[in-house]
Amino acid sequence: MKFPALFGRIAFSTLAALIGAAFALPLLWFLFAPFNARAELGLAIPDPFTLSNFNTVFGNGFAMQALWNSLIQAVGGVILVGAAATLAAYALSRSSIPGKGAVTYILLLFSSVVSGSAAMVPIFLIISAAGLMDTHLAVILTFAGGLLPTAMFILRDFIDSIPKSYEESAMVAGASPVQAFFDVALPVIRPGIVVIVVWSFVNIWGSFLIPFILLRSSANMPAAVAIYSFYSEAGTPVVTLLAAYSLIYSLPVVALYLFVSWRFGFRFFGGIKA
């Protein structure tokens, strides 16, 4: 290798490593504080290394209730999004309903126009009019409606890429449309469904604004809102609890991300986060 080329490679590597380090810095604290019984906002190596903060979290009824609420809302939303998006995407891909192209276009348009932060007033009013204020269902339905257009679109593309000959061969062999859907189509599109399920779960689990405006009582509050109230309202935050709690709360997201990148490759997830 010529000298300038070698020099260039070293410079590139150094620059990449520096940027990586800059991205790591704000997160470093999270690697240490959860395991430090005396953690404060400063960066410090735990001494001794302890899991006592996690015990504090598990003993905190409010925190555990909030995690449970997050789970209810995320799972509820995911079931709705997964089921409704699968059916709708299959119809958009496989039926010859007139105007389905226009439907897809309008859905995409609306879903990008009606963002949570632009539509918070009418969403609040609709939930309020439906008498669902401060319920899990309010959050579940709002997220399902908001995530569905994108989920349908991703899944429709996925189904479009699957040869129609799967269902055709089943029908020629004597299967009814219902049999062809459940025996052949559904198993074949399962990877696509997994992706939108993971994507919706991560979105609902991590979101703050919608539950923040739709929920009042601590009995229904998800972890996202709980963490915010821990560090914004309580005067001096209980840093030890918060650090461990945030870590626990982040784990499902990290685990799902690792799962998707292991199962479908890294880039696939890249394109689909809202």
Copy the structure tokens of residue 114: 């009606």
Rounded Cα distance between 14 and 5, Å, is 14
Among 75, 126, 132, 194, binds another protein (CB under 8 A): 126
Q: Which long-range contacts (CB under 8 A, 24 or more apart) does 254-260 make?
A: 256/198, 256/201, 256/202, 257/202, 259/198, 260/194, 260/195, 260/198
Would you count residue 264 as binding another protein (CB under 8 A)? no
Among 6, 87, 219, 234, binds another protein (CB under 8 A): 87
Among 174, 217, 235, 262, binds another protein (CB under 8 A): 174
Would you count residue 161 as binding another protein (CB under 8 A)? no
Closest distance to another protein from the beta carbon of 216 (Å): 12
Which residue, 50 or 133, is less far from another protein as judged by CB?
133
Would you count residue 41 as binding another protein (CB under 8 A)? yes
Would you count residue 122 as binding another protein (CB under 8 A)? yes
Would you count residue 152 as binding another protein (CB under 8 A)? yes
Footprint on residues 58-77 left by another protein (CB under 8 A):
none
Q: Are 242 and 226 in contact (CB under 8 A)?
A: no
**Three-class secondary structure of residue 148 per DSSP:** helix
H helix runs in 33-60, sequence order: 52-59
Q: How many chain residues interact with another protein (CB under 8 A)?
A: 120
Closest distance to another protein from the beta carbon of 78 (Å): 13
Maximum CA extent, the chain: 73
The DSSP 8-state label assigned to residue 37 in this structure reads T
Crossing angle (nearest 10°) for helices 239-264 and 52-59: 100
What residues are paired with 49 via a beta bridge?
36
Footprint on residues 95-114 left by another protein (CB under 8 A):
95-98, 100, 103, 105, 107-114
* Residue 250 identity: S
Closest distance to another protein from the beta carbon of 52 (Å): 19
Would you count residue 227 as binding another protein (CB under 8 A)? yes
Closest distance to another protein from the beta carbon of 249 (Å): 7
**Calculated CA dihedral for residues 243, 245, 251, 252, nearest 10 degrees:** -150
Would you count residue 80 as binding another protein (CB under 8 A)? yes
Footprint on residues 187-216 left by another protein (CB under 8 A):
187-188, 190, 202, 205-209, 213
Which residue, 9 or 263, is less far from another protein as judged by CB?
9
Which residue, 63 or 123, is less far from another protein as judged by CB?
123
* Residue 161 identity: S
